[in-house]
Structure 1
Amino acid sequence: MRKTIVISAVNLVEAGTLTILKDCLAYLSTLASDPAYRIVAIVYDKELAKFPNIEYIETRWPKKRWINRLWYEYISLKSVSKQIGSIDLWFSLHDTTPTVIAKRRAVYCHNTYAFYKRKMHDWLFSPKIAAISAFTKYIYRTNIHQNTFLVVQQVWFRNAMSAMFGFDKKSIIVAPPEHESKMPIINVEQTSDQLYRFIYAASPNSHKNFEVLCAAAEILEKRGVKNFKIQITVKGDENAYAKWLYKHWGSLKTMNFGGFVSRNELFKIYAASNCLLFPSKVESWGLPISEFALFEKPMLLADLPYTHETAAGSNNVAFFNPENANDLATQMERLIMGDTAFLTAVEREPIEDPVAHSWSELFKTLLHG
């Protein structure tokens, strides 16, 4: 009997979440070449993730404002599900569990903000993100127990979701994202200076915690340590947070407010850098860690559950308190002075079932697990 799978993803239009939508539909497009499967994708714009063998329902109204999104998820989609007909699996790719009629339901949980400890600083510089972090747990909670499965990227997130919502861990699938396993071929321009180079690639949002590395740079300069450079992918004029960073630390000679760069350019910077800094306070994964790990160079990472999982398998890692600039400055100074004795390997821990290492494995569990 023909199986119908519905993917709802009206909110996925850019960056990593759009990549997840594309990868998901690319797999389902192949699956749907078998007439035993019917795939329906509810998206903002099908041109963003267009594949053969898939029926698209396009709608842009829910993306205009949050109230529209909530109305669409919890009111409108029930009618849509009736119009589609008998549905074997409804898979929401963006955190919310819509009110629909389906034999099985699942939701992909990207948003870790429910576990982010907000500060007044966040309300001042990133009020939208602060608001999202305040309300995310209520969005997750709505209809959550109507799901057969939840899907997350890391074990700590599985444990946190289970504890917060009382959802059985055995029904939370850990699906680590697939990343490049080989370092790309890069032509790097050699520099004549003797500077130790750090890189931190992130968007200018307050939870990315740029201030701790800026403060660490200031501490080192005051100690007389100046033979290093920190490049960040913030220019200093993007938003209120970026302007605040530049106002306070833009004059430091060891800071390079380089601004956004393309992925190809970023890999060139990785290749020319000695060490990755990653102080972000909350992530669902932390992609630059996986990218930089390919270079087998030192990484100084915020001592948080997500970094330990993302860095698993890497050999030259140290963790620092993301609230303590002195802690970071001390580790940076040791590297600048050539001391790597404190760096350690991060062991890979086995992941308990259910786990999926590919879209094929994931849908096998969603449909038959």
Structure 2
Amino acid sequence: MMKIVLSGVNLVEAGPLKVFKEAIIAFSSCCDFEVICLVNNEMLFSDCKKSNVTFLEFPTVKNSWLNRFWFEYKVCYRLSQEISADIWFAMHDISPRVCTPLQFVYCHNPSPFYRASMKELKYERKLFLFSLLYKWLYKINIKSNKAVIVQQEWIGKFLVGELGARDYIVSKPLTSKPEKELIKNDFSNQSSITFFFPALDRTFKNFEVILNALSYLKDKELNVYKKIRVILTINEFSGEYARKIVSEYQDLEQVEFLGTIDYDEVIAQYKKCDVVLFPSKLETWGLPISEAKEFSKPIILSDLPYAHETLGNYTSATFFSPDEYVNLAEIMKNIVDGKHVFEHAHYEDSDAVVGSWKQLVEKFISIANEK
């Protein structure tokens, strides 16, 4: 039986925690593995407990970056000597110093790929700093990994080409198949068309391009503007940045600022809307793209590498430059006018892609057996 360490002491919420749990379940479901999990709080993992899984808690690592560095480069080395694992899989970006035969790191933070501006300096200073410094955190000790694990191939290519990683494996999130084979693309017989953009109040989500497009239509194409309804999941209580957005665009009567909603309501909005918008400038995946496909909705999305790769093959999509609000306004006008907008999108995965956690486990076993 092989022994693997899954290190995720910094993962306590949302998507990264979900990914960590999926990894624990996948490796523990394989009878070939004894799994040692380094976690912040064992109580978060009650649904992952099995006879071949051991949890070690490190609750203070998140308290400061000094604690984090001490853990990654001192504590992990001592643990690797004590545990004598066959594989060490770091689940949160940083490649620790360990004396384990095989080492991998999961890179999920997209900050190094974002060009921050004064907007981030004012409203999201952590993102501003990460955009400048995080790639150097990625680079430290990255060559000690047999491969870096990423959600998209363009990230893997960057880490290999720019930061010196030895290889990459693309582990894509599982996605559901569309509810319907036929997707409604023509809304010319409707009195109004609803566009939905589910996103938190982060500066890189690019709410402004949608709102500027609507301002443009209100000024230039009032009849078109009146037929459009846009649903956003922010409001004045969502945070400082969202408050500024709502205040600046409060004259747009066709926009509904819903605020944060639970996932059941998100699903309800997907089902009710006509078109999904996704203008974000920064993602390692972009879950609403997959969800738009699941609910068989046409989608307008940023013409960026992450969006093409996440979308994959789909019969109803159109791309636009995320900085060009006039371009987006023209797309929305054409939809209202009943013109053909949505096309078939195609993306070809490479051999570096594994389609599930089960396949990634098998890949690790194969690599370990080669040594």
TM-score by length of 2: 0.91
Q: 2:42 aligns with which of 43, 46, 56?
A: 46
CA distance in 2, matches of 1:202, 1:175: 23
> Aligned ranges for residues 1-369 of structure 1 at < 5 Å?
2-31=1-30, 34=31, 36-50=32-46, 51-53=49-51, 54-84=53-83, 86-168=84-166, 171-181=167-177, 183=179, 194-223=191-220, 224=222, 225-339=225-339, 341-349=340-348, 351-369=349-367
Offset, 1:128:
1.1
For residues 165 and 311 of structure 1, the distance between their equivalents in structure 2, rounded to whole angstroms, comes to 27
* CA distance in structure 2 between the partners assigned to 1:74 and 1:255 by the alignment: 49
How big is each residue's C-alpha offset from its partner over 1:230-256, in whole Å with a ceiling of 9 and x where there is no partner?
111111222221111011012310111
Distance 1:22 1:302 in 2: 30
Amino acid at match of 2:160: S
After TM superposition, the structure 1 stretch with the greater mean CA deviation from structure 2, 232-241 or 262-271, is 232-241
Other-structure match for 1:190: none
**Contact between 2:238 and 2:260, CA under 8 Å: does it hold in 1?**
no
Residue 188 of structure 1 is matched in structure 2 by none
Identity %: 32
Per-residue Cα deviation, 1:84-130 (whole angstroms, up to 9, x for no partner): 2x211000111110111201000011012111111111111111111
Task: Report the CA distance between 1:182 and its aligned residue.
Answer: 5.3
CA offsets 1:236-277 (integer angstroms, 9 cap, x no match): 222221111011012310111101111111111011111111
Query: Could you tell me which amino acid in structure 2 is paired with residue 194 of structure 1?
Result: S
Q: Which runs of 4+ in 1 moved over 6 A?
A: none
Given that 2:120 and 2:127 are in contact with CA atoms closer than 8 Å, whether structure 1 keeps it comes out as yes
Mapped partners of 1:367, 1:98: distance in 2: 21
Amino acid at match of 1:179: T
**Quick one: distance in 1 between partners of 2:333 and 2:64?**
46
- Quick one: distance in 2 between partners of 1:298 and 1:313? 13
Which amino acid is 1:143 matched to?
N
Aligned-residue CA RMSD (Å): 1.6
Equivalences, count? 352
Structure-1-length-normalised TM-score: 0.92
Contact 1:89 1:367 (C-alpha < 8 Å) held by counterparts: no
Is the CA contact (8 Å cut-off) linking 1:78 and 1:100 kept in structure 2? yes
